[in-house]
Structure 1
Amino acid sequence: MDERDPKGKDGSGPGRAAFVSAIFSIFVALIFIFTWFFEYLLQNDPISTELVVRQFSTIVGLPMAAIGAFIVVVFLRQEKDGPIEIDALGFKFRGSSGPVVLWIACFFTIVFAIKILWND
């Protein structure tokens, strides 16, 4: 087998680098969009400012929880072992449903942590 694997079967080829670059670019773009939106919103409307301050965990925390769960599922996945398979509570999730169930579990765990740790 050639050391320069053009298809990237070992997870380190050009396809993986392009994917990581695309995800990173999207993440940076979302940060700029959120920053611009909140900067505009907070400077021009005192009612919105109060709402964002009072409900910060909902307005900012939940989207960040979704992004965090996505990062956990995508970047911590092991390619060598094959697709994610989950067997729990009598259900079997295989193929593309495995990452979806893992994302939902990560998202709800992060949301639960935000709910417990947030002081009202």
Structure 2
Amino acid sequence: MTEESPPESAHHVRHAVVWIGGLAALVQISVFTFPVAVASWRQEPWVRELLANHFPAIVGLPSAALASFLIIAAFEARFDRIKMRLGTFVEFTGAAGPIVLWILCFTAMSMGIKLVW
């Protein structure tokens, strides 16, 4: 039995999700990162203290979550469905594949942020 290819509308939905993720990145930069950068440039003391003490939580973790989403969305848009198999015991198909891969990406990025901070 051959596996059916997804309908053309599924490809449009996947591309739309990638574009929405890109727009979310722009919104994050314009709404959160840019105002904090401007306040930091003005050398406002509360911003400098907040950024110095909590930079990984303020900027790092949201950026890691967004980057993980963009990676998974791009993989899914480019390579169709994501399926994962861990040994012979566990197989992730359907929505579970991207979710598990996002968790792995986010965890790896979060651990990297923790290691370098």
Confirm or deny: 8 A CA contact 1:85 1:95 kept in the other structure. Answer: no
SS in 1 for 2:94: coil
Q: C-alpha offsets along residues 57-108 of structure 1, whole Å, 9 cap, x if unaligned? A: 12110000101111111102311xx342333583322210110000000000
TM-score by length of 1: 0.69
1:51 Cα deviation from its structure 2 partner: 2.0
What root-mean-square deviation, in Å, do the aligned CA atoms of Structure 1 and Structure 2 show? 2.8
Structure 2 matches for 1:76-87, cutoff 5 A?
Answer: 76-77=75-76, 78-79=79-80, 82-87=81-86
TM-score by length of 2: 0.71
The one-letter amino acid of 1:117's match is: V
- Percent of aligned positions with the same letter in both sequences? 30
Q: Cα 1:74–1:16, aligned 2, differ >3 Å: closer, same or farther?
A: closer
Moved more, 19-28 or 100-109: 19-28
Give the corresponding residue for 2:28. 30
Give the corresponding residue for 1:20. 18
Moved more, 28-37 or 83-92: 83-92
Q: Cα 1:15–1:97, aligned 2, differ >3 Å: closer, same or farther?
A: closer
| Between structures 1 and 2, the one with greater helix share | 2
Structure 1's consecutive aligned runs of 4 or more residues displaced over 4 angstroms after TM superposition are: 14-17, 39-45
Higher relative contact order (CA 8 A, sep 6+): 2
Give the corresponding residue for 1:72. 71
Alpha-carbon distance between aligned partners in 2 of 1:117 and 1:89, rounded to the nearest angstrom: 35
Q: What is the count of residue pairs matched by the alignment?
A: 108
Q: Give the unaligned 5+ runs of structure 1.
A: 1-5
Confirm or deny: 8 A CA contact 1:85 1:93 kept in the other structure. Answer: yes
Q: C-alpha offsets along residues 12-47 of structure 1, whole Å, 9 cap, x if unaligned? A: xx5555443333222211210113542576569633
Confirm or deny: 8 A CA contact 1:86 1:98 kept in the other structure. Answer: no
